[in-house]
Amino acid sequence: MIDKTYETLAQAVADVHDGATVMIGGFGNAGMPSSLIDALIEQGARELTIVNNNAGNGDTGLAALLKARRVRKIICSFPRQADSHHFDALYRAGEIELELAPQGNLAERIRAAGAGIGGFFTPTGYGTQLAEGKETRLIDGRHYVLESPIHADFALIKALRGDRWGNLVYRKTARNFGPIMAMAAKTTIAQVAGIVPLGELDPEVIVTPGIFVQRVVKEAA
């Protein structure tokens, strides 16, 4: 019997190793798997490379992971905002590496990894520092930059409901990066608000099929 459910958050993240590349879903706080992040902090993995849209808000979730100094490098599109003080402090002190990617490029690099695409040309970033050291090409009179896919060892994502096969549905825009991150990681761990019996999720509304999800765990109350 296929059963991908885990009893505890700690069990779900127990094998995240030092130096792992970890994708974390969320657009700001929307769709951020805060319970899984808290479990990862407790677990103790260090020297992580984090892939996320931004670099943490306030003092919780991804910001708490940064505060705990568990992150060696972050790949994101929007690192600075009014309450990104933990990232700001680490970056100014030279204690974290930043790889900046325009948001569309970031999303497509993740999607490319999941789709098995070796790279793609995009006009975004051409002629800027973001294109330095990268191949460029003139296509139909327009300049493009070659971008590479982003693969991950783990993806931590948040969904509204899941079943024991790992099928997921999301709450509105909280899905954001979740579906493509699930496809791009070797091990996808989904934090859900509720686990429902097999067959209760309408196949027509399942967003992430269970084939892309290895673990499902209920979020902290």
Mean pLDDT throughout 159-164? 98
The predicted model scores a pTM of 0.95
- Distance, CA of 13 to CA of 215 (rounded, Å): 9
Query: What's the pLDDT at 197?
Result: 97
Query: What's the pLDDT at 110?
Result: 98
Of 77, 44, 84, nearest in space to 61 by CA: 84
Query: What's the pLDDT at 220?
Result: 79
Q: Give residue 115's pLDDT band: very low, low, confident or very high (50, 70, 90).
A: very high
Burial of 98 (0-12, 13-18, 19+ CB in 10 A): middle
Mean pLDDT throughout 169-185? 97
Q: Give residue 164's pLDDT band: very low, low, confident or very high (50, 70, 90).
A: very high
Mean pLDDT throughout 118-147? 97
Secondary structure of residue 154 in the 3-state scheme: strand
pLDDT at 111 over 80: yes
Secondary structure of residue 109 in the 3-state scheme: helix
Compute the chain's Rg from CA coordinates.
18
Q: Which spans in the chain are helix H?
A: 9-12, 34-43, 62-67, 85-92, 103-115, 178-184
pLDDT at 106 over 80: yes
Encoding tokens for residue 150?
A: 């982003």
